[in-house]
Amino acid sequence: MFNLFSNKPLLDTETTQWLFDAYAWALESFGSDFFNEDTTLITPTKEHFPTEVNSRSSMANSIFDQMVRYAGMQNWPLELIELTPEYESTYPSSTRYNGIPRGAATALSLEGDTQAFHIAYSPDLTRDPSVLTTVIARQLATHLASASNTPGPGGEELHGHLIDLLAIFMGFGLFLTNNAVMIQRGCSGCGKSVQATGFLSEDQMIYALAIFCCLKKIPNKAILAHLKSPLRPVFKKALKEISGNSSKIEQLTQITYSIKSTSSTT
């Protein structure tokens, strides 16, 4: 924490460059127009999750339905699946896709016995809607990533990191960042353990969230109100560093790839 007040960068140069490269890949793959016009920072509030529910299963379905819409994947054949001991993961044998990854014009059809992409969750996750939202966000990002014809920076070795970045790019950065590290308490006298939940580190997620906020021109106050208090100084430091290197943000704003006007098929 004391490093926050030093001149040492939050991340090393290579990692920072990868994050900007990953944003460029996302903008070029999934529509800079959709990002600029339709993507918003999703918050754990009634503004974005207004539905009143009376059971854990209805809560999970309500969160899922709203997240699918925010992601622009409402035309994807997606199905929320509650994990049971009998559940076996399945995947469509092939997919026909019109080349428009998200939005109202997206069209996908599946071949094979499986007629939907599964989004699976453990019933235990309904005890913490924030964690459930994080789990769903990563799975949505995984399926969306499969629609890109261009491999992300770092290739297969950094695929998991790319999925985390894409979920943040899709607007779910507050959830991933707040749940980047989970603290598990043991029995009395056993202490506690700290476990990372994703591939990106907590600082990397904060930096990726800061890039999102710079691109979307979101005021600090709107972010800090929803970030866990220990993360707020780190977020401010990330913003300061990005502001001091505005050329990288400017390069991202110059990317223009429209998916709303695309009519090609694949």
Express each pLDDT in 186-198 by its tens digit: 455 554 545 678 9
Q: Which residues contact 119 (CB under 8 A, 6 or more apart)?
A: 64, 78, 79, 80, 81, 136, 139, 140
Domain regions of the chain by residue span: 13-253
From the CA atom positions of the chain, what is the Rg in Å? 19
Q: How far apart are CA 135 and CA 160, in angstroms?
A: 13
H-helix or E-strand spanning residue 75: none
Structure-block tokens of residue 127: 């005890």
Give the model's pLDDT for residue 262: 59
Q: pLDDT tens across 149-188, in order? A: 899 999 999 999 999 999 999 999 999 999 998 765 545 5
Digit-coded pLDDT (tens) for 51-70: 888 899 999 999 999 999 99
Give φ, ψ of 259 to 5 degrees. Answer: -105, -15
Residue 38, token pair as written in the block:
């339709």
Closest CA to 234 of 206, 211, 194, 213: 206
Residue pair 65/74 in contact by the 8 Å Cβ criterion = no
The tokens describing 234, both together, are 């780190």
pLDDT digits (tens, 9 = 90+) for 197-244: 899 999 999 999 999 999 999 999 999 999 999 999 999 999 999 999
Asked if residue 266 has pLDDT above 60, the reply is no
What are the φ and ψ backbone dihedral angles of 103, each rounded to 5 degrees?
110, -175
Q: Averaged over 46-52, what is the pLDDT?
A: 91
Q: How does the average pLDDT of the chain come out, rounded?
A: 90
Mean pLDDT, residues 77-95 taken together: 87
pLDDT band at 34 (very low <50, low <70, confident <90, very high): very high
Q: How confident is the model over 78-107, as a mean pLDDT?
A: 89
pLDDT at 226: 97
